[in-house]
Amino acid sequence: MSTTAHTTAAHWIDGRAGTAADLIDVVNPANGTTIAQVPAGTAADVDRAVAAARAAFPAWAATGPAERAAVVRRIAEGLHARAEEIATTITAEMGAPISLSRAAQATFPVAVASSFAALAEEFRWTEEIGTSLVVREPIGVVGAITPWNFPLQQIVSKLAPALVAGDTMVLKPSEIAPLTAGILAEVTAEAGLPAGVFNIVHGTGEVVGEAITAHPGIDMVSFTGSTRAGRRIAAVASQTVKRVALELGGKGANVILDDADLAQAVAHGVQMAFTNGGQVCGSWPRMIVPAALHDRVVELAVAAAAAYTVGDPAQESTVVGPMVSERHREKVNGYIERGVADGATLVFGGPGRPDGLDEGAYVRPTIFARVDPESVIAQEEIFGPVLTITPYDTVDQAVEIANGTPYGLTSGVFGGRERALAVARRLRAGQVDVNGGSWNVLAPFGGYKQSGNGREFGVLGLEEYLEVKSIQR
């Protein structure tokens, strides 16, 4: 089944679509063609959106949790009904292989929205603590700023808990991959969400993101993106002392113990490094392995990497598509060149374009072996299909290497169950998978250190969007 990509990009303010005189091109990274244009929003557009959100807030906040959850459930159903259009659109705007877009990009938002709708029915909105009545209430107007790598999931991961909590929202989606935000706006209207509860202002971070962050009418900013941008948001938001939730960069480690199922550990690790072209904040671009097993791990990793075919993301056989943009391709390729220059052992891929792909934002999936854990490619977030393999002598050293970056978002451990669990507890990361543990939509997701603060998903994800009031009696 094939569906044409959605190509409508407009502001969505107070339940109505609108455009602007100045436009930003949306480019297909596979071939460099312009597939749509998005309004270049202004601070005045943000003012209008905030005004609509504030006007809609009292009535939406007064709506009961069950009714709010019912709307979110209908949103999930609406997204499910348009799954193929969503998948095709994301493949066109940011280059995710169509198989991944169908399996994850279009399905994760449905799972997230459904989980929050179900959670609303069992959440403890009020509780008695001694002589006090503790009440959880909506925080107000949420400003959401979302990235391009999982464009719809990142929006829904903020919108669904905010709606269940009783908040209203002003969203700035990524200008690089903005098109599924338009689909979502249509779905929310069809689901019966009142006008003004959900608003979209397109544009750049420097203009629209800055205006949202600084706006006195916004009570909370939820941001997913780079650590550099997160620092700026935290600084600007501090001027109005609004709540800030940040899900930032990562440099996940896959720690393989000497009693691990080596074939499973390496194959899963390569998958976690290369999926979505490595453009995943929760990826594992570092593989930390026993020194005695290093060469065998390299053999297995190279063999696994051979299956990650690079090509047109619209083709069913493609496993790795282009980087999201030519600018990002140049950045990732620069890191690969840096790894070579710094003396890491190149065992797969390398600088330059893949054979036969002379146009489009393509890089070669790359593996470096015997990587110094203090080197640039082992320390900085590359956000591309680049895997580093670093040997260790003791488990203590492995933990030290794994914890030895500024980030702490995700990691993995493979080995005997009890040993692996013990190592997982020592890792300074917000989420650790043991022996390939599966994704749990109810488990909190977020980072330690410069990977951010706050949590998404589950009860803790809902509580991010609530204020707590204590009524003494």
Has 247 been annotated as catalytic? yes
Catalytic residue, chosen from 93, 175, 210, 247, is 247
Closest by CA position to 208, among listed 186, 162, 175, 240:
175
> Across-strand partners of 24?
38
Distance, in Å, from the CA atom of 367 to the CA atom of 357, rounded to the nearest integer, reads: 20
Contact 429, 405 (CB under 8 A): no
Choice among 281, 381, 456, 464 that is catalytic:
281
Question: How far, in Å, CA of 34 to CA of 332, rounded?
Answer: 22
* Amino acid in position 23: L
Tokens of 79: 């997204």
φ, ψ for residue 78, nearest 5 deg: -65, -40
End-to-end CA, the chain: 61
DSSP class of residue 96 equals: -
Phi, psi of 259 (to 5 degrees): -105, 20
DSSP letters, 207-240, are IIIHHHHH-TT--EEEEES-HHHHHHHHHHHGGG
Contacts of 73-77 with C-beta under 8 Å, sequence gap 24+, read: 73/113, 73/114, 73/117, 74/190, 74/191, 74/192, 75/113, 75/156, 75/160, 75/163, 75/184, 75/187, 75/188, 75/191, 75/193, 76/109, 76/110, 76/113, 76/114, 76/117, 77/191
> Is 299 among the catalytic positions?
no
Hey, which residues are catalytic here?
247, 281
